[in-house]
Amino acid sequence: MKLKWIAAAVLTAAGTTAHAQSSVTLYGVIDAGMLYQSTSAATLSPTATNLGKVFRYKDGGIYASYWGIKGSEDIGGGYHVNFRLQGEFDSGTGNFNLGDTPGVAAQFNQIATAGVSGPFGTVNFGRQIVPITYAMAETDVRGAQYFGSILTAWLGMNQAAGWQGVSTNGPIGALYDSNAIVYESPKFAGVSATLEYAPGGVPGSVQGGTRESAVLKYSNYGLRVAAGYYIGHDTNPGPTTVPTGLANNRLFYVGALYTYHAFSVSASYSNGRNPAQSDRVNLNLYSAGLGYQFSPAFKVTSGVYYLVDRNNSTNKSTEVVAGAEYSLSKATLVYGQVGHVNNRGTMTQPITYGQPVAPGMATTAVMLGLRHFF
């Protein structure tokens, strides 16, 4: 009899504990495909030579493969404590992708946060995808995909500013920020705001290594509008450079996307510059996109992305891309994409992230792939 009572007490306690625990979810995506590109380069160096055509397995035709863990605990009164860990990996090799340290991969290179959400909005602490990135994705018909989109055009802007691609620290804006504090407001009449501050942690310099950004968004009646501003200090310094708080990374973005029935159209303008050396780095990026949703399972999208050096107009690049996606199920879709980029001068705008092109080379690429959610 005592054994029965003990067993009942243990089961009751276990049930109560399970009810009080946070919900935890394991999730991810595998995105795999085959890429053909008419020219290629080994690195992002401004002196890289054309190695000719390439045919290869390619991870991330739409977005990189990634996996993550997220959880949330209800603490009452409409408030939740949340956490999230998310990292990219190459489905072809199983390797994790790059982090902040040059040449070093990171397991959770995209997101590693803890935070609180409630009626006031959401605040998260840790490594995060920078708010201006979401603003770009939400106002681009191509959705800032890894193949031919506002993202690859932005990468071309970073490459023109000297980014070597050996870490996630770029000289124009940022895709990820470490040690960041990000606040997102609730939406009022379709309007919301996001603020970011990332302290640098540099002894003797409060401004050293800091990053700040602000994004204002409107979404209603089929229209999305976003404006964002990012400023970085001591961005991507050399190995012997001591951060002093120098403002050397500024990105301004404004974009809009309008959907009417099955049609979507988008347009944007960006300017990226190094305020400390604007005579060397001052770049404009213009984009336009058009998409059509044939059915809930099938859509096509297209875009044009024009990048020009304001200090030397012979350095310019125009990319044209189109893609189609078909959902086989809620968890699996297949896609096909084709793009052409016409680089001039020293421009190296890529068609797809992770496959460089040599400076001044006109290049065509085609990719077919499969994307599965779990």
In the chain, the amino acid numbered 105 is A
Looking at residue 239, what is its pLDDT? 66
Can you tell me the mean pLDDT for 306-320?
Answer: 97
Of 334, 336, 361, the residue nearest 348 (C-alpha) = 361
The overall average pLDDT reported for the chain is: 93
Find where tokens 């050396």 sit.
277
pLDDT tens sequence across 219-278 = 999 999 999 999 999 987 766 678 889 999 999 999 999 999 999 999 999 999 999 999
Q: Is the pLDDT of residue 14 over 70?
A: no
pLDDT tens sequence across 144-179 = 999 999 999 999 999 999 999 999 999 999 999 999
Q: Which residues contact 335 (CB under 8 A, 6 or more apart)?
A: 33, 61, 62, 323, 324, 325, 326, 367, 368, 369, 370, 371
Q: Is the pLDDT of residue 214 over 70?
A: yes
Domain ranges of the chain: 26-373
When pLDDT is cut at 50, 70 and 90, the band that residue 66 belongs to is: very high
Q: Which residues contact 313 (CB under 8 A, 6 or more apart)?
A: none
Instruction: Give the CA-trace dihedral at 326, 319, 49, 36, to 10 degrees.
Output: 20
What is the pairing mode between strands 247-260 and 223-233? antiparallel
Looking at residue 46, what is its pLDDT? 86
Looking at residue 237, what is its pLDDT? 74
Handedness of CA 91, 95, 101, 107 (dihedral sign): positive
Share of the chain above pLDDT 70, in %: 94
pLDDT tens sequence across 191-203 = 999 999 999 999 9
Count the neighbouring beta carbons within 10 Å of the beta carbon of residue 269: 12
Domain 26-373 has CATH 3.40.190.10: no
**pTM: predicted TM-score of the whole model, two decimal places:** 0.91
Q: Is the pLDDT of residue 11 over 60?
A: no
pLDDT tens sequence across 128-139 = 999 999 999 999
Burial classification of residue 320, based on how many CB atoms lie within 10 Å of its CB (0-12 exposed, 13-18 middle, 19 or more buried):
middle
Looking at residue 368, what is its pLDDT? 98
Looking at residue 3, what is its pLDDT? 40
Count the neighbouring beta carbons within 10 Å of the beta carbon of residue 75: 12
**177: its two tokens:** 């920020």
Can you tell me the mean pLDDT for 286-301?
Answer: 98
In the chain, the amino acid numbered 323 is G
When pLDDT is cut at 50, 70 and 90, the band that residue 19 belongs to is: very low
